[in-house]
Structure 1
Amino acid sequence: MNLMNVDGYHAKIDYVEETDQFRGEILGLSGGADFYGASPEELRREFKKSLDVFLEVCKEQGIEPRRHYSGKFNLRIPPELHEKLAMTAEAQGKSLNSLAQEALQRSVSE
């Protein structure tokens, strides 16, 4: 995944063949904000502009710009996988939650 960072905000970058440009979508916002550019420099400049406009609108409307995350989510998996994970966690002397958290942390650290 291609990510770009500006002022502590992250955006996913994709190439749009139809327009021969890159499109960025700012992640983790309480609303939507995107931007386009033909070069990395233009993309970064447009990211900053789009972010500034989004933050200004949030300020004017009294909206928290970043999405709130509770730290909880439901995960639906096949019962067979659930059983294997539970046994693996028990064998390692861990909770299923700890085992899952470690695996998820590895997936974002790579």
Structure 2
Amino acid sequence: MSDNLEHNGYFGSVEYSSRDGLLHGKVTGISDLVTYEGGSVKELKEAFEESVDDYLDTCKELGKEPDRFYRGVFNIRTSSEIHRELSIMAERKKMKLNELVNKAFNFLVKNEDKVLK
């Protein structure tokens, strides 16, 4: 079982522990580990929102940036065939491979609901 929660621009996971009979999760997209749990969906959502608010308050008190630093650089593993096809496509369009891939990423971000059903 997996889903997501959202509060003040922060997202959190939703997991179920059959061992404990509890719902639990963690705030994603931050460097720190912030977790929450609840016995029902309502309790989990409330615990998530409280955890996000507490986290932001703590960061403010400490003068710390709450968000994870994203450099904009990461490796992608794909098949040699896809790598070849993308490289050829980029050359045909007179683009760098990074530029082509970024256009694809932008399209995905703008059309997430249509592409990832």
Q: TM-score normalized by structure 1?
A: 0.79
Aligned pair count reads 110
What corresponds to 2:101 in structure 1?
Answer: 100
- Write out per-residue CA displacement over residues 7-44 of structure 1, whole angstroms, 9 at most, x where no aligned residue: 11111212222112221210111311010122221111
Which residue is equivalent to 1:46? 47
Q: 1:9 — aligned with what?
A: 10
Q: What's the RMSD between the two structures over aligned residues?
A: 2.3
Partner of 2:24: helix, strand, or coil?
strand
What amino acid maps onto 1:57 in structure 2? T
> Helix, strand or coil: the match of 2:75?
coil
Any residues of structure 2 matched to 1:1-110 within 5 Å, and which?
Answer: 2-77=3-78, 79-105=80-106, 106=108, 109=112, 110=116
Instruction: Tell me the secondary structure at the aligned position of residue 73 of structure 1.
Output: coil
- Structure 1 CA distance, aligned partners of 2:17 and 2:91? 47
Following superposition, the deviation at residue 57 of structure 1 comes to: 2.0
Q: Is the 8 A contact 1:13 1:22 kept in 2?
A: yes
Letter in 2 for 1:33: V
Unmatched 5+ residue regions in structure 2? none
Q: CA deviation at 1:76?
A: 4.5
Q: Percent identity?
A: 32
Q: Secondary structure at the match of 2:11?
A: strand
* Closer/same/farther in 2, CA of residues 35 and 92 from structure 1, 3 Å limit: same
- Separation in 1 of the partners of 2:70 and 2:86? 25
SS at match of 2:67: coil
Of 1-10 and 96-105, deviating more is 96-105
Q: Check the 8 A contact 1:30/1:64 in 2, yes or no.
A: no
The alignment partner of 1:72 has SS state of coil
